[in-house]
Amino acid sequence: DTPSSTTPQQASTTSPTFKPTVASTMPTISASNEWSPLRSLLIGRASHSLFPSEPPHMTRATMPSAHRSQFRSLNPFPAHIVAKADEELDNFARVMTERFGIKVYRPREVDWAKTNMGTGGYTGAMPRDGLMVVGNTMVEACMGWGCRRDEVEDAYGGFLQMIMQEARERGESVRICRAPKIVGRDSVYDGLLDLPDGDPDEHVDVGVHGPNESSEMGWAINNTRPAFDCADFMRFGTTIIGQLSHVTNRKGVDYLRAVIPEPYTVELLNTTDDHAMHIDATILPLRQGTLIYCPTRVTEEELRRHEVFKNWDLRPLPWNPEEETDEEDDGPPRYMCSKWLVLNAMSVDEKRIVVEEKQERFARWLEQEFGMEVVRLPFRHVNSLGGSFHCATVDLVRGES
Ligand code: NVA
């Protein structure tokens, strides 16, 4: 069982002989891309996860239609799915430490039904949404969703204090940029709450903060205050590529630009996903110079518009996972995600990547086309809660030792 604790924990290992191969010179946080050798990692925790409860227009904009009635206040995910998800997360943590010598941190266990002054939160399984390392700065997201307002503090507050303490003791220059706190009424849904229910299968054009550059589509949040999830951004050296989405607005992008250290910059990719929420099932960099992308959400032309991809090998996934029926469909429901979640893999380094074990077609393609070594791990119950390996992690240190 997952121990109940009020303090953040490092992953324990079941092997008494195991000694992590962590160099003492390793910084506390330092990452500038998504593929350099991973040396330190935060992995989420599923216990007590609830279906996120946001206004109906947001659920319609971002969630698959089949399960939308589940997104009610204080409605827990099925207990067996949460228990299995925790087993998968624990196993993932064990493999990262034992096989790859990566230092792994775990968040504290939170009873999400008791957070947000009793109105409930969501999960501790998706830390990528709330935290991002840019160089030696840890940035906390200004989350759009009300049910996630306290998520970072509740699940990762102790962890953030601990890494700050570690950095101080080592004399490192590390910065943690906590999000501004909204106390009282949030304005981010103003003008959007009275939208008609409409056909639950139809995407509702809810826009207030305006069309994005490539479509006339509007968003489920307005632009009255900064809002962004870190999972709408990815690091490509000093260029951070991001997208506007139903949880990320222009003020959120401006805020991120203002708090990241020099010389990092943020560029927006014009994606064409009506349900946009998190960029990490749209693009997947495998290594310096090679990127896989979802061709129904972004074009090669749009990617090439960004200097950082100038000489890159840009590869569309050559099949549409949404059109596949395969063994994956026997698994627990993907309540919150499309089948493009297959791209939500996590690189250990430029040659090795962690992929959900049922995604055999994808795994073989990575091996044959790109010479990758694919680490296949079970994660379908974590997928059920809203993400895969990339969502469930925050890479704290990447780079050669
Ligand atoms: N919202 C994305 C998943 C992002 C990890 C999708 O459903 O495809």
Contacts of 199 (CB under 8 A, 6+ apart): none
CA of 309 to the centre of ligand 1 (A): 22
What percent helix, strand, coil does the chain show, rounded to 5? 30, 20, 55
The position carrying tokens 């904009």 is 61
CA of 337 to the centre of ligand 1 (A): 5
Q: Measured from the CA of 339, which atom of ligand 1 is nearest?
A: 8
339 lines ligand 1 (CB under 6 A): no
Identity of the amino acid at 326: D
pLDDT tens per residue, range 161-218? 999 999 999 999 999 999 999 999 999 999 998 766 554 444 444 443 344 433 334 8
Q: Contact 205/254 with Cβ under 8 angstroms?
A: no
Is residue 131 over pLDDT 70?
Answer: yes
Residue 193, pLDDT score: 84
126 lines ligand 1 (CB under 6 A): no
Is residue 4 over pLDDT 50?
Answer: no
Nearest CA to ligand 1 atom 8: 338
Q: What's the domain count of the chain?
A: 1
**For residue 308, which of 239, 242, 244 has the smallest C-alpha distance?**
239
Residue 9, pLDDT score: 53
The position carrying tokens 């307002």 is 149
Nearest CA to ligand 1 atom 7: 337
Could you check whether the bond before residue 316 is cis, i.e. omega within 30 degrees of 0?
Answer: no
Asked whether residue 46 is domain-assigned, the answer is: yes
Asked whether residue 4 is domain-assigned, the answer is: no
How much is the average pLDDT of 324-347? 87
30 lines ligand 1 (CB under 6 A): no
Confidence of residue 24 (pLDDT cuts 50, 70, 90): low
Asked whether residue 291 is domain-assigned, the answer is: yes
How much is the average pLDDT of 356-381? 98
Q: What is the CATH number of the domain that holds 92?
A: 3.75.10.10
Is residue 6 over pLDDT 50?
Answer: no
pLDDT tens per residue, range 266-319? 999 999 998 999 999 999 999 999 999 999 999 999 999 999 999 999 999 999
Residue 197, pLDDT score: 57
Asked whether residue 22 is domain-assigned, the answer is: no
337 lines ligand 1 (CB under 6 A): yes
Asked whether residue 23 is domain-assigned, the answer is: no
pLDDT tens per residue, range 240-251? 999 999 999 999
Q: Write out the residue range of the structural domain in which residue 156 sits.
A: 9-13+28-180+198-398
36 lines ligand 1 (CB under 6 A): no
Q: Which of 79-83, 321-325, 356-360 is least confident?
A: 321-325
297 lines ligand 1 (CB under 6 A): no
Q: What is the ipTM of this complex?
A: 0.99
Asked whether residue 47 is domain-assigned, the answer is: yes
The Cα 260–Cα 215 span in angstroms is 28
Q: Measured from the CA of 390, which atom of ligand 1 is nearest?
A: 5
280 lines ligand 1 (CB under 6 A): yes
- Share the mean pLDDT of the chain: 90
Q: Contact 44/127 with Cβ under 8 angstroms?
A: yes
Is residue 16 over pLDDT 60?
Answer: no
The DSSP string of 251-272 is HHHHHHHHHSPTT-EEEE----
Asked whether residue 191 is domain-assigned, the answer is: no
Distance of CA 352 to the CA centre of its chain: 19
Is residue 21 over pLDDT 60?
Answer: no
How much is the average pLDDT of 358-368? 97
Asked whether residue 387 is domain-assigned, the answer is: yes
Q: Measured from the CA of 336, which atom of ligand 1 is nearest?
A: 7
The Cα 114–Cα 94 span in angstroms is 29
The Cα 301–Cα 303 span in angstroms is 5
Q: Contact 68/200 with Cβ under 8 angstroms?
A: yes
CA of 209 to the centre of ligand 1 (A): 21
